[in-house]
Amino acid sequence: MNNNLPNIFIGSDHAGVEQKETVKTFLESLGYTVTDFGPFSNDSVDYPDYAHKVASAVLEKPNTLGILLCGSGNGVCLTANKHAGIRAALCWLPELGALARQHNNANILCLPARYINNTTATEIVSAYLNASFEGGRHEKRVEKIDL
């Protein structure tokens, strides 16, 4: 475990459970500590249950990030963003993953499991984690997100 790496909380719905396992394995291979909130099978579940768990955990623990997956990525993204202080971003390209951190200081990455393959998912995760918030002109915009 590398103490300089943020802990990662991860969750999905049934449509994202298989890709979640790929992403989790990828993260662990890089030395990240990953807490998986489930689900652990592809039996039908309600995505808000898992998105709320991940968002709450990210808010409660400093130096953490979240990753959420569902079929389109929209459901988990909408749910996570209901939490004040969460900036969840739906990304389907590596460039968007990087920009989510650089410009929006996103603390949760949302992936559309039915629309990207596992290779793309890990490329997006890598771009997201390797980027950092640029601040500057983006700082005042990010500060305006929470009401």
- Which residues are the active-site residues? 70, 103
**CA distance to 18, 75, 105, per residue, from 98 (Å):** 23, 21, 10
Residue among 113, 118, 132 nearest 26 (CA): 118
Joined tokens for residue 50? 């898992």
Give CA–CA dist 90/106, Å, rounded. Answer: 10
Tell how many helices (H) and how many strands (E) occur in the chain: 6, 5
Cα separation, 7 vs 30, in Å, equals 12
